[in-house]
Chains A and B, each alone.
Chain A
Amino acid sequence: MSNVSNFTYDEISIGQTASFNKQVGEQDVSLFSALSGDVNPVHLDESYAAGTIFGERIAHGMLTGAIISAALAMELPGPGTVYLGQTLRFTRPVKIGDRITVHLEVTGKRDDKGFVTLDCKVLNQNDKLVASGEAQVLAPSEKITIERTSSPRFGLID
């Protein structure tokens, strides 16, 4: 467990950066399949995936999107951030076991609304771009600190 503090709108400046990384595991892909209903065998069936252009199982692209959401909520602006919109372009597959890093950079602020625009780039462990896009968020107005509680590993219960 560790504590995480946010950056309020006033504390955020153009050009500010942050990063967040996560290893994509077997259980993440199974859980994402269950939550989304996307049960394409390219994500779940090793022998099927071996016969595809990928040659092995790949993670859902939207799981990478979910990790961008975590980067915004845990790093910049941090806890209390409200998501307004996201564009995403998927450029390379993420394979099971890959460690992906989300790089955020503040590119715009709108003082009258408290909106912040961030450029998002997601790289794999070989520094290859797997996804990119732009996030629009409402930055927190109050400073808060929370305890990071996630990542106790858990399995699926039928």
Chain B
Amino acid sequence: MTQGLQTSVVRSFSQADFDCFARLSGDDNPIHVDPGFSRDTRFGRTVAHGLLLCSVLRGLIEKLIPDGRLTDQSVMFPAPTFAGDAMRFAVAVVGRDHEGKKGLMECKLEVKRIADSVVTCQGQCRVVK
């Protein structure tokens, strides 16, 4: 029974993580890497790349469903993730044999700031195992 299966991890990022992800992806958006520029934005400081959150979620999915193939994913970023904030990354299997397809699991994804329970990433994905 894989339904009900879930896992989570607490992680906080540093500016060095944002810089590292910028080099990896090629996404040098100053909202992620330039503290001076970011001071004057709506957020007031640098924020994590959305795909950095998705990358950590992907690692969690692999731990929950080893060797599962991610077929598709849909996420929203309703609030920014700042450096230094402890975030809970959570993945839960919410359905299996989705749409009659054997081995296709539907997962719920969420990233939440622990201090005030603000959700900064939420969505779902499907994994074939």
Is A83 touching B77 in the complex (CB atoms < 8 A)? yes
> Complex: how many Å from CA A1 to CA B115?
40
Is A40 touching B29 in the complex (CB atoms < 8 A)? no
A90 contacts which of B30, B42, B52, B72 (Cβ < 8 Å)?
A: B72
Mark B51-66 against chain A: 1 for CB-CB distance below 8 A, else 0. Answer: 1101110111111001
A28-47 contacts to B, CB under 8 A, are: 28, 31-32, 35-40, 42
Question: What residues of chain B lie closer than 8 Å to A85, measured between beta carbons?
Answer: 74-77, 123
Question: What residues of chain A lie closer than 8 Å to B97, measured between beta carbons?
Answer: none
CB-CB under 8 A for A20 and B62, given A35-B17, A65-B54, A84-B77: no
How many interface residues does B have (CB within 8 Å)?
42
How many interface residues does A have (CB within 8 Å)?
47
Q: How far is the CB of A81 from chain B (nearest CB, A)?
A: 6
CB-CB under 8 A for A66 and B55, given A83-B77, A85-B77: yes
Is B72 touching A89 in the complex (CB atoms < 8 A)? yes
Label chain B's interface by main secondary structure: helix
For residue A70, CB closer than 8 A to chain B, the reply is yes
Question: What residues of chain A lie closer than 8 Å to B123, measured between beta carbons?
Answer: 85
Is A82 touching B31 in the complex (CB atoms < 8 A)? yes
A88-134 contacts to B, CB under 8 A, are: 88-90
Is A66 touching B71 in the complex (CB atoms < 8 A)? no
> Complex: how many Å from CA A67 to CA B70?
17
Is B70 touching A90 in the complex (CB atoms < 8 A)? yes
A87 contacts which of B67, B71, B72 (Cβ < 8 Å)?
A: B72
Known: A63-B24, A83-B49, A136-B76. 7 other contacts (CB 8 A): A36-B59, A66-B27, A73-B27, A74-B29, A84-B76, A88-B72, A149-B22
Question: Could you list 17 A-B pairs, sorted by A, with CB under 8 Å?
Answer: A35-B24, A35-B56, A36-B55, A37-B56, A62-B58, A63-B24, A66-B21, A67-B26, A68-B51, A69-B49, A72-B27, A73-B28, A73-B29, A79-B29, A85-B74, A88-B73, A150-B25
